[in-house]
Amino acid sequence: MNRSIRRVRANIQMTFMIPVIVLTLLIFAAIFAPLLAPHPPTKTSLPNRLLPPFFMEGGKTNYFLGTDLLGRDILSRVLYGARVSLSVSVLVILITSSLGTILGIISGYLGGRTDTVLMRVTDISLAFPGILIALLLAVVLGPSFKTVVLAISILGWAPYARLIRGEVLKIREEAFIAQARIIGSSSLRIMMRHIFPNVINPLIVIATMNVGLVILMESALSYLGAGIPPPTPSWGGMVSDGRNLIDRAWWISFFPGLAIGLVVLSGNFLGDWIRDKLDPRLRQL
Amino acid sequence: MNKIILQVENLRTSFFTRQGEVKAVDGVSFYVCEGETFGIVGESGCGKSVTGLSILRLLPEPAGRIVGGKIVLNGTNLLELTQKEMRAYRGKMISMILQDPMSSLNPVYPIGDQIAEAVRLHQKLSDEKVEQEVIQALRLLKIPSPEMLLRTYPFQLSGGMRQRVVGAIAMSCHPRLLIADEPTTALDATIQAQYIALFKEVQKTTHVAIIFITHDFGVVANICHRVGVMYAGKIVETASTKELFNNPKHPYTTALINSVPRLDRKDARLYSIEGQPPSMLDLPPGCRFFPRCPSALKICGEKEPPEVKLSDGHSVFCWQAK
């Protein structure tokens, strides 16, 4: 018994420490990219094109992770790319999760006509191909950082709204909601104080899962020319840059892909940890 | 007699479903005095919980609606208040305890916060004052070492303790009327007896009027001063508890009392009432108990029985009552 409790605690520490270290390093890299990067991220150098990473034959230590088709340093671009990719995903997730949560709670708690209207709008948003909207926006507004955030957010709230509404439908039948009404709480108060804290768990889970989706969406947009305009490096854009060369120069796609993987995995671990922390039953362990 | 705190007159509550209007409460009248416990007894689905929710105006809208009658609390007809005015009454003037203590508390907040919320909703007090009120409410419900319990979460407490905390929330703003909807049903027998004894004490100290909704005649005998027996949306008989047990007039009341198992009699079989309560969508024309009544007359199936007033506030709706 004692041992298993200790093991649980050790697991909680692990799932907390690893993602925190990884994310801290990446955020650090993003902030201090100009100091850390050995080359300017957009500087081309044709004599040094398609260099492999230093540990392979023909690699050079000053191009640590190799270079791409135009001879740009992969390491520098990954460091700079963290700025774009992390800020896009943080912004998008903040926007979509707040919007989705607010609409989901209103829809689920008030029910009736409000629910019908909001859920039909959600259905339409879910059915609409996101790439199409994004391309449309890019054409109208011109590709930029803002356009990317707006384009991914404009439909991204719908899965949150759907999921949160489902949770709220379950929670609003609980006796403690009736109890809150009995002591004289208003609907707004019930939604904010009694329903919201009870949907945080699923919210965190899908928000962290979404980190990967957002980064991939951003890369898809970059690939179609509607993303962050080149030459600004973004991880997604770098992965798609290297796609045609994957058999000859795998490192072009691999290292930014590795960075995406690390962020997604860290997000999931951190989400798990936060969920455990929020559950009062596990808090006592 | 004490001052009447709540007077319900000819209350009618209906649910509008696809199959038609369900008259869940159909012309119910009763009153409760200060410091008195009025019991509402009946089978599942007879409308006793809906009566309680109607008083608080917390019916599941838009399906459930109060379609007629008056609910007068301390001189104010609650049915004429706006939603906002009504909110100020809930918790402050009228409170309610629900059946299920396991889910009546929000799992994410410590119990101290949950009681404090009720206090803060109705009074503007400093933090220390609020904490005093919270501790006082916990003391009232005889919760041991309340200061220690403020930071505990609902899941750390036993069912009986949780139901006491729910009671403390209900009593935290010193309401004049408490509606208890089967508060002991989910508790086991020993805890049940404790809880009822506790409520008697709470009533003695606070003089609160209680409407006790239950299907358990044993509980009725223990706590209620007066009782209304409900059947298919109507109160068929009202009397003091003693009078009701000694001298039941309505055949339904008699049948209910006879179907309680007793240790002092050696009956071969426990009495049970034949048949089912009528469908609330399709009520019989005469007395609602007519199809199941062992002593029905011809007129019972044709016309609704009038109210017959007997001595000492004993009243009954039956053609045969004298």
Residues B262-272 have pLDDT tens digits of 777 666 677 77
Burial of B202 (0-12, 13-18, 19+ CB in 10 A): buried
Q: Which two tokens stand for residue B66?
A: 């109060």
Q: Using a pLDDT cut of 90, give the percent of chain B over it.
A: 37
Q: Of the given ranges (A244-258, B14-28, B198-212, B271-285), which has the lowest mean pLDDT? A: B271-285
Instruction: Give residue ranges of A with CB < 8 Å to any B CB.
Output: 112, 174-176, 178-186, 193-194, 197-198, 278, 280-281
Radius of gyration from C-alpha coordinates of chain B: 21
- Angle, vertex CA B80, rays to CA B76 and CA B86, nearest 5: 75
Residue of A nearest to B53 (CA): A182
Residues A231-284 have pLDDT tens digits of 788 888 888 888 888 888 888 888 888 888 888 788 778 877 777 766 655 554
CB contact under 8 A, A175 and B87: no
Q: Which two tokens stand for residue B305?
A: 């029985």
Element (H, E) at B213: strand B209-214
Mean pLDDT of A131-138: 82
Name residue, tokens 């939603």.
B83
Q: How far is CA B104 from CA A4, A181, B199, in A?
A: 32, 11, 18
Give A120 or A269, the one with higher predicted confidence: A120
Mean pLDDT of B254-283: 77
Which chain A residues are closer than 8 Å to B90 by Cβ?
A: 181-184
A285 band by pLDDT with thresholds 50, 70 and 90: very low
Q: How far apart are CA A272 and CA A205, in angstroms?
A: 7
Measure CB to CB from residue A183 to each of B99, B118, B155 and give the nearest one: B118
The answer to whether residue B178 neighbours chain A at the CB level (below 8 Å) is no
Query: Side chain identity at B294, as an amino acid letter?
Result: P
CB contact under 8 A, A184 and B96: no
Residues A9-28 have pLDDT tens digits of 556 567 778 888 888 888 88
Mean pLDDT of B280-309: 83
Residues B32-71 have pLDDT tens digits of 999 999 999 988 888 888 999 999 998 887 788 999 899 9
Which chain A residues are closer than 8 Å to B95 by Cβ?
A: 182-183
What ipTM describes this predicted complex? Answer: 0.82
CA distance B38 to chain A (A): 20
The answer to whether residue B165 neighbours chain A at the CB level (below 8 Å) is no
CB contact under 8 A, A280 and B173: no
Q: How far is CA A262 from CA A18, A76, A211, B116, B218, in A?
A: 10, 17, 11, 44, 65
Q: Are B183 and B126 in contact (CB under 8 A)?
A: no
Strands (E) in A145-193, as ranges, are none
Q: Of the given ranges (A41-45, B103-107, B284-288), which has the lowest mean pLDDT? A: A41-45
Which chain B residues are closer than 8 Å to A184 by Cβ?
A: 87-92, 118, 121-122
A98 band by pLDDT with thresholds 50, 70 and 90: very high
Q: Which two tokens stand for residue B152?
A: 């505990």
Q: How far apart are CA B64 and CA B49, in angstroms?
A: 13
Residues B153-209 have pLDDT tens digits of 988 888 888 888 999 999 999 999 999 998 888 778 888 888 899 989 999 999 999
Q: Are A94 and A115 in contact (CB under 8 A)?
A: no
pTM of this structure: 0.79
